[in-house]
Amino acid sequence: MIKTRVFVSLKTSVFDPSSSVIKNTMQKLGYNSVMDIKENKYYELVFDENDPEIVKSLTKELGEKLLVNPNTENFRFEIIESS
């Protein structure tokens, strides 16, 4: 069994309205040292598989086909647990 973490974020060219609202609210509340904030998604996938190369391939495929909108998002992943 192998577990992976998948991190999804907006491309830098994509406007993030919810993060903009949060940043403005933080500054209104006096948290002026916060220069920027980005909202991201995070997934943990657990595979019934023991070959790390197969898991890497499956995670990449799932990211590209299902977890990410390739027009607006990027992703990266890491293997975090192997047993």
CATH of the domain at 73: 3.30.1280.10
Which residues make beta-bridge pairs with 16? Answer: none
Q: DSSP E strands: which ranges in 33-72?
A: 40-47
Tokens of 27: 């500054």
Pairing of β 40-47 and β 2-10: antiparallel
Which residues make beta-bridge pairs with 82? Answer: 2
- Global pTM value: 0.84
- The tens digit of pLDDT for each residue in 32-77 reads 999 999 999 999 999 999 999 999 999 999 999 999 999 999 999 9
- Domain containing 55 equals 2-82
- Which alpha helices (DSSP H) does 15-69 contain, by range? 17-28, 52-62
- The tens digit of pLDDT for each residue in 57-66 reads 999 999 999 9
Total domains present in the chain: 1
